[in-house]
Amino acid sequence: MIRRRLRRCWTACKKTSQNTALNEQPIRIKTILLNLLDHSGYVRKRKLQTQLNISDSTLYLDLKAVRKILNKYNLELAYRSGSGYRVEGRETDKRTCLAREDIYSMMEEAHETQANLKRITDLKELLVEIFLENEYKISEVLLESLILHLLLTLQRIERGYFIEAGTTKRNGGEKETRIAGGYSAPLHKRAGFPAERRNQLSCRKSARQAGL
């Protein structure tokens, strides 16, 4: 199921690469959000206009919509004259925005490559094994959502976007916490992350976002 979903996402990405898709404001808004959230510095106004092939007035309206979406996740669209725009806020909120606004589907890592499909298979096998060990029931839909959240989290870490110290909280039941801890260490080992970065995966956060 998750492969079919990513295949649909990849098809949408190919359409987005064509100018016809950028005529639709929802696609432009996602493209702007992706550019801003996947860039640690400022993104120049001219770069956005060139990529989207739009006028000043259209970009103004699109950025107004982008700011409204960002505000839902406690994020701020900052502007500096001569530099451009950037998103300011916590990494956890940025990941939530990327996931809930379905922006991950537009990232390169969502493309149906052999490496990405292998990672999906590995994640699913690991999660199913842990859920069975803990006698935890989960629907296929929630499992798919959790895998996508973890794919997004791994991608952010690999790109150098880390969770700020003191911004994550442990909550939920004892069983859920044990399950989250159960797949945190194996995921770090498979991804090759050092021990000091283990809090960066925020597996419990991913589980909450996925609806567990």
Question: How do residues 10-22 score in pLDDT, each as one tens digit?
Answer: 455 544 444 556 7
Of the given ranges (23-27, 53-57, 136-140, 198-202), which has the lowest mean pLDDT? 198-202
Tell me the pLDDT band of 200, cut-offs 50, 70 and 90: very low
Nearest to 212 by CA among 140, 154, 142: 142
Tens digit of each residue's pLDDT (9 = 90 or more) over 135-165: 888 888 888 888 888 888 888 888 888 887 7
Extract the tokens encoding 143. Answer: 């499992």
Sign of CA dihedral 201, 202, 208, 212: positive
Nearest to residue 105, comparing CAs of 17, 22, 13? 13
User: Considering the entire predicted model, what is its pTM?
Assistant: 0.71
The structure tokens 């442990």 sit at 170
* Least confident stretch, 42-56, 74-88, 133-147: 133-147
Structure confidence at residue 18 (pLDDT): 47
Q: Is the pLDDT of residue 1 over 60?
A: no
